Amino acid sequence: MANSELRAFKPIGDYALPPMPTEQTAKRWWRKLRHALGSDVERIIIGAGALKCSEVEQLDAVAPSPAFGPVQDELQSTLQDWLADEAPSGWLKLVVLPPCDDAGVLENWATEQGHSTLEAPSRADLLSGDKKISLELAEAFSGESRVLVIPRLERWFIRHRDGLTHLRALLDALDGLEQHCVIGCNSWAWAFVQKAVGAERILPTGMTFQSFDEPRLRRWLAGLASAASGTPVTFRHSRTGQDVFKTVDDSDEGAEPISNYMKSLAAESYGIPWVAWHVWRQSLRDAPGDDENRESLDELAVNDGETLWVVEPDELILPETQEGMALLILHAILIHGELTISELARVLPSADHMNVVAALSTRGFVTRRDGRIRCVPAAYPAIRRALSNAGFPSDRL
């Protein structure tokens, strides 16, 4: 993305959610009703089941990482004047980011800019109530580095009565610090720490990136695809056959797209680039191998160099009989970023969650890697909707 596209971070509370196209919401409800009535004979170009899943290499070519796009550059652009100031009005900056940032915006930024990173204690240490933490922090803050980065404040606590000691000690150490310090925190964790320890009394007002609305998302994803070498790729919607990047007058500036797909994707992903990136990659399909379907598609895509088909993601459904426990698990994982099974047992009200975690994994809500359970970024929209509908305390960007 060009430097002119970089947008400065804004205070949290100013985040503008991309709107969902009205007709898209109506169409979705109409499709659900038809499906419920058993009348699912909508005219579509090709069903998702007839298409092949794209190879990972192909996906990496048309939608390469990092999933956070220009957000890291925007962070540097926002902070550069403050970082250069030898006597700023405030030494602390709080960056609040939506969850599921697996790629690590702040960690990457700190590494690329050569800033020191303060590592969080292990989860076992968090529950030990170790009083020596204050001494260790004092040593860390008296170091030589000019800029200190604490990339994930959510790694400094565990939601347990014994799990807040390190967080409180960290906040005490930050209070009165005279060194540039950038603290990152996921938005769900930020809502929790404000309630649990009153973190907003010590840390400044948080800031976050500007949402990726339809034009911005379309330009970013189109830019990723066009940067791929080889034959140009056309991305067609599997229901309508429309080119999802094409605009009415083929121009880019302020032009209306002919397909609503990007508007829907921007709204569905709440303007979060890494969520949109994961959903986008999951939605890409290759043409079918069988001749019958291929012939009719070839007619439509006769002028395309190469065609990839964009399907709508499957709707994720929570386990019916254990919906309450499933939501408690998802809420806990969003707050902490990732948890092991034993850590989940410490933060949940009851221990009968093993089979529910398995069900959530099977249904695509969570993933398990190295024993740690995380929310699947592409599932975040469904998770957020379910938690909001059930009345759970939510994040606020």
Partner 1 sequence: MDATEGTQKAAKLLNDLQDINFTEIVIVIVGAWLVTLAANKLFPILAEKVPSKLRLYFLGAVPIIRVLVLVIAISWTIPIVFNITFQNFLIISGAASVAIGFALKDYASSLIAGFVAIFERPYRPGDWVQIQDDYGEVMSVGMRAIRIRTAEDNTISVPHDLIWNNNISNSNDGARTLMCIADFYLLPDHDAEQVRSALRDVALTSSYLEYEKPVHVMLNETPFGTHYRVKAYPFDLRDQFSFISDLTVRGKRAIAAHGGREASAVVSASTD
Footprint of partner 1 (CB under 8 A) = 159-161, 163-164, 191-192, 194-196, 328, 331-332, 347-349, 388-393
Task: Rank residues 161 and 369 by Cβ distance to partner 1 and give the closer one.
Answer: 161
Structure tokens at 182: 């950038």
Q: Considering beta carbons, is residue 50 or 164 the nearer one to partner 1? A: 164
Strand-strand pairing, 207-208 and 10-11: antiparallel
What distance in Å separates the CA atoms of residue 278 and residue 68, rounded to the nearest whole number? 10
Structure token pair of residue 174: 């930050």
Shorter beta-carbon distance to partner 1: residue 103 or 196: 196
The alpha helices in 64-201, defined as continuous H runs, are 71-84, 105-113, 123-126, 133-141, 165-174, 187-197
Q: CB-wise, 312 or 323, nearer to partner 1?
A: 323
Give 186's strand partners: 97
For partner 1, give the closer residue by CB, 159 or 218. 159
Strand order in the sheet with 52-53: 52-53, 284-286, 306-310, 233-237
Instruction: Quote the least distance from Cβ 271 to partner 1, whole Å.
Output: 21
Nearest residue (CB) to partner 1, 11 versus 324: 324
SS3 (DSSP) at 329: helix
The answer to whether the Cα torsion of 107, 109, 112, 113 is positive or negative is negative
Residue 139 beta carbon to partner 1: minimum distance, rounded to whole angstroms: 27
Shortest spacing between CB 20 and partner 1, in angstroms: 16
How near is the Cβ of 391 to partner 1 at its closest, in Å? 3
CB of 309 to partner 1, least distance (A): 33
In whole angstroms, the minimum distance from the beta carbon of 138 to partner 1 comes to 23
* Whether the Cβ atoms of residue 98 and residue 105 lie closer than 8 Å to each other: no
